[in-house]
Amino acid sequence: MRKLLSANFARLWKSKVFWALEGLCFGFGVFAYALVAYNTHNLGQGWLRFNAHSYFYLWFFFIPFVIGVFTSFFIGTEYSDGTLRNKLTVGHSREEIYSAFLLTTMAAAFLFVLAYLLAVFLVGLPFSGAAVLTPVQAQPWRLFHCGLILLEYAALFTLFSMLDSDKARNLIVSLLAAGILIVGGMLVYRRLTATEFIQLVIPQSDGSLLLKDDAPNPEYLTGRIRMVFTWLTNLLPSGAMMLSLDKRLGIDWRTPCCAVSLNALLTTLGIRLFQKKDIK
Amino acid sequence: MRKLLNANFARLWKDKAFWCNAAVVLIVSLAESLQGSGSAQNMMAMGYMVTLDDYFYNNANMMGLFYAIFVSLFLGTEYSDGTIRNKLLIGHRRGAVYAASFLTCLCAGAVLILIWMIGSLPGLFLVGKLEMGITGFAVYLLIALGFTAALISLFTLIASLSDNKALTVVFCLGAWLVLLLCASGVYDRLCEPELQSGVMLTVDGLQTMAPEPNPLYVSGAMRRLLECVLDFLPTGQTLQMSNNEITLPARELIFSWLFTFGTCAAGLLAFRRKDIK
């Protein structure tokens, strides 16, 4: 296992795709925090205090795509170059190989996020002030939740890449899965967080406008459907991430519990299926 | 050239990626059509004037994604299996190989448009007929063929120059995404209203504010330029089609033809110089 990890990390540090994605994450962070500096300059510290949270966690929207591309290339190369077969031939077990790739992907996923966060320190702090770090100072537990969800993404995309030997096909599947997860997570989260009552503005016949408070919201979910949506949002990594990032919501232990359970489930399933895979 | 086309089409009809793509287009179109029809029926029940035209072309925006996936997989296989080298070895000219690849992908694109239209048919039964009539539909179909040709020519260029299939997928999807983001940015600016007004909650209740000029509104020569950019970009055309907002179809068709011609010419020139290992 130690040898497999050493080999994986040795290849990781030399991987062009890894460094290109690191550069992309860092570049995106620089762009985002340049925008923050520009807006803070024009709109003041009040704007920054309100928006610091969204910008700090902006990486959430692109990290599934980055991990999907990374695993497709990194693990796909093992199949296309035949190194995976060599590892099996020299006596490494399939569990060890799978676990080594999972750990390497998890480490890479954290490094991608770190590259984005590096921009917070290099561009955000000097140009916008310490307020850019308020999301971490106020609720550090959110970072812990996000870390667990990041591991979930790593487990999911490792599973895809370990089971498909076609690099290009796996890349498309991973990117589509990332897109569907993000959109699906946002949709279920939006339905779950719809308020029970809304304000309606009704135009009157004399041209005036009537404000009606406490009108029932047709989007509000009740009963069993609400329970299903609650669990679905917690189970989907993107839904859980949206819940973890919602400033209005407090700590919810269902989110980390679901993340850990899904992580274990995906890894077990991945190892089982990889053991049965015919590696030509 | 005829032999190349025969070989490409023989491969196309057996290509799993193409049929998977076609199945996804059908499912997405059906889903869009049913969802759009449901929205239209709700809006009609509330007394709003809506027509099927507002929902029929919703899927236009997604077509670029399907073309990118299909072209990158179909042409990427030529490199990964080495068939492109075989074609050159037996004496086919590079221009003919490039043209045959483009024409095959274009035909596949036309088939995907047909499937998209079939998937949109439930709207006709659930909402009613298209208000634009058969002429309007034919014009929209021509524009769809135009942006299909433009996007496929771009993806053919990328796929012919990249010999790594996985990288081709990344580049094609990236190109589509960048074009879509550019078109969305331009479209958003053009949608800014000239005057803005709002509602304020005061002690006397709700008051409507007097309209004020919108600083984000683009006017004059800049507006005309942005409109040209939106019409020129194939993704700008898909955006306008999905919102049923095509105003100058002739200009869009000419721009599509220019885009296709430009990318084909550039692709052909670059492909002639490419070192095929």
pLDDT tens per residue, range B87-118: 888 888 988 999 999 999 999 999 999 999 99
Q: How far is CA A128 from CA A39, A46, B62, in A?
A: 9, 12, 38
Per-residue pLDDT band at B133 (split at 50, 70, 90): confident
Q: Does B265 touch chain A (CB under 8 A)?
A: no
Per-residue pLDDT band at B202 (split at 50, 70, 90): low
Q: How far apart are CA B213 and CA B231, in angstroms?
A: 26
Rounded to the nearest angstrom, the minimum Cα separation between B169 and chain A is 7
Instruction: Quote the DSSP letter at residue A212.
Output: E
Nearest residue on chain B to A200, alpha-carbon basis = B206
Q: How far apart are CA A120 and CA A114, in angstroms?
A: 10
Nearest to B33 by CA among B127, B130, B132, B113: B127
Residue B127 lies in a domain: yes
Number of domains chain B is built from: 1
Q: Does B199 touch chain A (CB under 8 A)?
A: yes
Residue range B232-247, pLDDT digits in tens? 999 999 999 998 888 8
Q: Which residues have a Cβ under 8 Å from the Cβ of A32 and sit 6 or more positions away? A: A55, A58, A119
Instruction: Quote the DSSP letter at residue B218.
Output: -
Q: How far apart are CA B72 and CA A29, in angstroms?
A: 29
Per-residue pLDDT band at B30 (split at 50, 70, 90): very high
**Whether A201 and B206 lie within 8 Å, measured CB to CB:** yes
Within 10 A of B217 (CB to CB), how many other CB atoms are there? Answer: 15
**Whether A171 and B208 lie within 8 Å, measured CB to CB:** no
- Please list every residue in chain B whose beta carbon sits closer than 8 Å to the beta carbon of residue A171: 166, 169-170
Q: How far apart are CA B152 and CA B65, in angstroms?
A: 11
Lowest mean pLDDT of A33-42, A45-54, A199-208, B28-37, name the range.
Answer: A199-208
Residue B62 lies in a domain: yes
Neighbouring-strand partners of residue B199: B208
The token pair at B250 is 């002739």
Q: How far apart are CA A127 and CA B145, in angstroms?
A: 48
Percent of chain B with pLDDT over 70: 95
Q: How far apart are CA B28 and CA B35, in angstroms?
A: 10
> Which pLDDT does position A166 carry in this prediction?
85
Residue B30 lies in a domain: yes
**Whether A211 and B73 lie within 8 Å, measured CB to CB:** no
Nearest residue on chain A to B76, alpha-carbon basis = A168
Taking 80 as the threshold, does the pLDDT of residue A112 lie above it? yes
Rounded to the nearest angstrom, the minimum Cα separation between B165 and chain A is 6
Q: Is A27 left (phi over 0), alpha (psi -120 to 50) or beta?
A: alpha
Taking 70 as the threshold, does the pLDDT of residue B199 lie above it? no
- Amino acid letter, B193: P
**Whether B165 and A168 lie within 8 Å, measured CB to CB:** yes
Nearest to B111 by CA among B161, B74, B58, B165: B74
Within 10 A of A78 (CB to CB), how many other CB atoms are there? Answer: 22
Report chain A's mean pLDDT, rounded to a whole number. Answer: 85
Q: How far apart are CA A68 and CA A169, in angstroms?
A: 12
Nearest residue on chain B to A69, alpha-carbon basis = B170
Q: Which residues have a Cβ under 8 Å from the Cβ of B227 and sit 6 or more positions away? A: B190
Range of the domain at B172: 2-187+236-273
> Which pLDDT does position B205 carry in this prediction?
64
HSE of B260, CA atoms in CB hemisphere, 13 A: 19
Residue B205 lies in a domain: no
Q: How far apart are CA B219 and CA B260, in angstroms?
A: 30
Q: How far is CA A196 from CA A193, A201, A219, A246, in A?
A: 9, 17, 8, 18
3-class secondary structure for B161-196? HCCCHHHHHHHHHHHHHHHHHHHHHHHHHHCCCCEE
Q: How far apart are CA A11 and CA A20, in angstroms?
A: 14
- For tokens 């899904």, name the residue: A262
Select the residue from B69, B70, B170 to test the A interface by mutation, using most A Cβ atoms within 10 A: B170
Q: What are phi and psi of B219, to 5 degrees?
A: -130, 175
Question: B251 or A138: whose pLDDT is higher?
Answer: B251
Rounded to the nearest angstrom, the minimum Cα separation between B166 and chain A is 4
**Whether B72 and A76 lie within 8 Å, measured CB to CB:** no
Residue B92 lies in a domain: yes
The token pair at A112 is 């991608």
Question: Do A247 and A53 touch, CB atoms closer than 8 A?
Answer: yes
- Grouping H, G, I as helix, E, B as strand and the rest as coil, residue A248 is coil
- Amino acid letter, B78: E
Nearest by CB to A171, which of B80, B166, B206?
A: B166
Per-residue pLDDT band at A53 (split at 50, 70, 90): confident
Determine the Cα angle at B212 with ends B246 and A206, to 5°. 90
- For tokens 């890449």, name the residue: A161
Dihedral over Cα of A123, A126, A131, A134: its sign? positive
**Whether A69 and B199 lie within 8 Å, measured CB to CB:** no
> Which pLDDT does position B56 carry in this prediction?
84
CA terminus-to-terminus distance, chain B: 22
- Grouping H, G, I as helix, E, B as strand and the rest as coil, residue B221 is helix
Nearest by CB to B205, which of A72, A76, A211?
A: A211
Q: What are phi and psi of B232, to 5 degrees?
A: -75, -40
